[in-house]
Chain A
């Protein structure tokens, strides 16, 4: 199985400041034949199911604010929130879908400083 490791486990950011979450996979999730990274990001608020934010490492899901962006390739990826809003308080997960079983990172909790 591909192991996904996120860092940090939690972070506190002031409103309006930038938040950055890292995700590292134990093997590359870049598929050479189509040059796509099989990596997604989710946001989960308390009492709610996860919500897809980003897929193909950098493609924003419809309706997701453009302050959310994904970057990276191969084994190292980043989710950035350019200007943290109060409604962004949540746990964020990365997930690889390069092979089965699809696996998730352990989650990163984002709070307001």
Chain B
């Protein structure tokens, strides 16, 4: 079982870029057995998949966010990151990183505790 921990600013101003990092321990993000994902949850609402990074370093992001999302990884440090540009209040959410099974969309068997990011001036 992997342990995942999100880190990054809890407050971002409108129009700026949200940046978060997920640190993975107890497993390598270079493993072909898993993918790694970002998921968010607005307060009191449901879950939205943001994007996936594969062991190859390639990524796939939600088309609804695609133009604003960048996911990258530092394989040597077992970390992967999320950048979401031009944020608005609608991007206020708990952001989770998680481990995904290597299926098409993947199911998510390990999650970080999540970090609340508030977009406000």
Q: Chain A interface (Cβ within 8 Å of chain B)?
A: 38, 40, 42, 48-52, 55, 61, 93, 95-107
Contacts and interface: CB of A to CB of B under 8 A. Distances in A.
Given A104-B46, A106-B46, A107-B46, A49 B104 contact: no
Interface stretch (B9-17, B26-34, B75-83, B109-117): B109-117
B109 A104 contact: no
B82 to A, nearest CB: 15
27 contacts: A38-B103, A38-B104, A42-B108, A49-B111, A49-B114, A50-B108, A52-B107, A55-B101, A95-B47, A95-B108, A97-B103, A97-B104, A97-B106, A97-B107, A98-B104, A98-B105, A99-B105, A100-B105, A101-B49, A101-B62, A101-B63, A102-B105, A102-B106, A104-B46, A104-B49, A106-B46, A107-B46
Interface of A: prevailing SS:
loop
Interface of B: prevailing SS:
loop
A53 B64 CA distance: 28
Contacts of A42: 108
Nearest to A107: B46
B36 interface: no
**B interface, size bucket:** 20 to 34
Interface of B: 46-49, 52, 60, 62-64, 96, 98, 101, 103-109, 111-114
Contacts of B106: 97, 102
Given A49-B113, A49-B114, A99 B46 contact: no
A95 B46 contact: no
A96 B105 contact: yes
Nearest to A52: B109
A61 B112 CA distance: 17
